[in-house]
């Protein structure tokens, strides 16, 4: 049985396949969102590009939990989100994929005040290839996460203009231990010229199976930006913090990649590169219990980074 065109996309053996969108396969429904397609409207079915919905929130409302539903956000889609919980991902097991590269990626302008947020409150939600721009000064956080299995992949966090910026990109906001287990932040980017940035990820409870990998954080003007910050007394269990690159303007002794204050952490921290301005102590990781391999840092622009902490003898 070959590929067949159906109103809801291309299927093989009854399973939707969108090869041109990266080869994703699903047994669930597929929906499309576009602000540029002719006739796009939240009153449409959303089941094809010619019946595209106008907003991501409307598409989420059409999905069904735990059956692998997917939402494709079309190239050059632009949407403005205002207010706390301006977008809520409250359907378990859905995947949202942005189409297009670099400037053609779907762009969400988070605007209206410092409390504007998107919320992931359902388990196993995946977001890929989207841009979220801060439209106000010192927005507290872009994403609040209160469910397990959230995955951010190829997400770009940007300033809309100068002095409109994020303080924190992703925050596991709940204080109940393990409610954000399985959180993954991979291949994401956060660049800003604003000096107020704090961290890419803040975690307020114990977390297991955290993956923080291949991310790019560039805040050479920020005084204390970090990769991961855990609340007092909270642990990372079975964490993987691998292959990240971080540039910070910090001159303080703050731990720039990971900061926890406990000794009960576990996992691996490896192959991370950190450039900074702390010439006194050059501390990169405070996560006792996590094993470290080949992490490199430097406070000198003209020198190549050296292994921190020192190689075991």
Residues 70 and 89 in one domain: no
Is 80 within a domain? Answer: no
Residues 16 and 104 in one domain: no
How far CA 73 is from CA of 45, 78, 248, in Å, comes to: 14, 10, 32
Is 59 within a domain? Answer: yes
Exposure string for 106-145, b = 16+ CB within 10 A, e = fewer: bbbbbbbeeebbbbbbbbbbbbbbbbbbbbbeebbbbbbb
Is 187 within a domain? Answer: yes
Q: What are phi and psi of 98, to 5 degrees?
A: -85, 135
| Per-residue model confidence as pLDDT tens digits over 96-114 | 999 999 999 999 999 999 9
Residues 106 and 164 in one domain: yes
Is 46 within a domain? Answer: yes
Residues 119 and 265 in one domain: yes
Residue indicated by tokens 């300033």: 159
Of 42, 74, 106, which one is at a domain's C-terminal end?
Answer: 74
Residues 204 and 105 in one domain: yes
Of 19, 39, 74, which one is at a domain's C-terminal end?
Answer: 74
| Per-residue model confidence as pLDDT tens digits over 132-144 | 999 999 999 999 9
CA distance 53 to 71: 10
Residues 127 and 153 in one domain: yes
Q: Is the dihedral of CA 233, 237, 243, 244 positive or negative?
A: negative
How far CA 251 is from CA of 31, 214, 248, 278, 304, in Å, comes to: 47, 24, 9, 4, 18
Residues 181 and 42 in one domain: no
Residue 13: which domain range? 1-74
Indicate yes or no: pTM above 0.85: yes
Residues 178 and 299 in one domain: yes
Residues 143 and 267 in one domain: yes
90 vs 276, more confident: 90
CA distance 133 to 208: 29
Confidence of residue 229 (pLDDT cuts 50, 70, 90): very high
Of 49, 74, 99, which one is at a domain's C-terminal end?
Answer: 74
């Amino acid at each position: 049985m070959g590929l067949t065109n159906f109103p809801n996309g291309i299927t093989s053996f009854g399973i939707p396949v969108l090869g041109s969108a990266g080869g994703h396969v699903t047994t669930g429904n597929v929906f499309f969102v576009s602000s540029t397609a002719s006739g796009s409207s939240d009153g449409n079915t959303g089941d094809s590009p010619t019946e595209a919905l106008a907003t991501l929130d409307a598409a989420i409302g059409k999905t069904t939990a735990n059956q692998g539903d997917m939402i494709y956000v079309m190239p050059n889609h632009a949407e403005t989100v205002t207010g706390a919980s301006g977008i809520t991902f409250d359907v378990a097991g859905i995947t949202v994929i942005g189409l297009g590269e670099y400037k053609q990626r779907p762009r969400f302008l988070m605007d209206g005040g410092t409390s504007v947020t998107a919320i992931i409150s359902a388990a196993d939600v995946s977001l890929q290839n989207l841009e979220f721009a801060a439209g106000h000064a010192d927005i507290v956080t872009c994403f609040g996460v209160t469910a397990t299995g959230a995955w951010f992949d190829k997400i770009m966090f940007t300033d809309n203009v100068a002095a409109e910026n994020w303080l924190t990109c992703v925050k596991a906001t709940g204080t109940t231990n393990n409610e954000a287990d399985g959180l993954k932040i991979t291949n994401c980017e956060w660049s800003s010229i604003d000096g107020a940035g704090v961290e890419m990820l803040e975690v307020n409870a114990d977390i297991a199976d955290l993956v923080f990998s291949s991310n790019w954080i560039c805040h050479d003007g920020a005084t204390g930006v970090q990769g991961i910050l855990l609340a007092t007394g909270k642990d990372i269990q079975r964490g993987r913090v691998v292959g990240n690159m971080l540039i910070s303007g910090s001159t303080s002794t703050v731990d720039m990649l990971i900061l926890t204050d406990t000794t009960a952490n576990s996992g691996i921290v490896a192959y991370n590169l950190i450039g900074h301005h702390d010439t006194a102590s050059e501390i990169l990781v405070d996560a006792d219990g996590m094993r470290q391999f080949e992490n490199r840092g430097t406070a000198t622009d003209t020198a190549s980074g050296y292994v921190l902490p020192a190689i075991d003898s």
